[in-house]
Amino acid sequence: MAVMEKLYQKDLIFSSNATTQQEVFTEISSMLLEKGIVKESFKDAIIERESNYPTGLDLSPVAEGLPNVAIPHTDTEHCDAKAVVFIKLTNPIPFNNMIAPDNELNVNYLFMIINNEKTNQTNVLSELMAFMTDVDNIKTLETLETNEDIYNFLTNK
């Protein structure tokens, strides 16, 4: 998981009280814009992208009772960095299922993928999948309260 450790940043771990996709994407996009890692077009692009190609992942095939996650992302042209932004949702938000878009899931964690390299060979998705399909990882995540604890856990510190 060495690849992932470099992609998380201490200041890119968030917790949000938003109750809709629109709200959380607006909130996070403006913070990312301030930090210079996305372009202004990012907010609209990620909202539109999520409605056309949803990214919710049902974790019930991994184990019953696990919270669901989503991996929002958009085209490289709207991004200015390579990173994974982690967002803990204090109110679960409905996302549609990436592999069955007609189904809705309540999602507790977002792993937002920021990528500005079109020819990027490192596969963030497979690394994330490896993390999320390990029951112990998600269960540990559930016990962590502060953004710092979450960062330390995600980066193995």
Partner 1 sequence: MIKILAACGAGINSSHQIKNGLEEEMKKRGYKVQADAVVIKDITKEMVEEYDIFAPISKPKFSFEIPIPVVEAGPILYRIPAMSAPVFDEIESVIKKLQK
Q: In the complex, which residues of this chain contact partner 1 (CB under 8 A)?
A: 49, 52-53, 61-62, 71, 73-76, 97-101, 113, 115, 120, 123-126, 129-130, 133
User: Which CB atom, from 96 or from 108, has the smaller least distance to partner 1?
Assistant: 96
Cα distance between residue 4 and residue 50, in whole Å: 23
Q: Which is nearer to partner 1, 48 or 142 (CB)?
A: 48
Least spacing, CB of residue 91 vs partner 1, in Å:
26
**Calculated CA dihedral for residues 71, 72, 77, 83, nearest 10 degrees:** -50
Report in angstroms how near the CB of residue 148 gets to partner 1 at its nearest. 27
Taking the least distance from each CB to partner 1, the nearer of 3 and 100 is 100
- For partner 1, which is the closer residue by CB, 119 or 143? 119
Q: How far is the CB of 157 from partner 1 (least distance, A)?
A: 25
3-class DSSP assignment, residue 86: strand
Instruction: Tell me the C-alpha distance between 82 and 100, whole Å.
Output: 27
User: What is the dihedral sign for C-alpha 114, 97, 91, 60?
Assistant: negative
φ, ψ for residue 12, nearest 5 deg: -115, 30
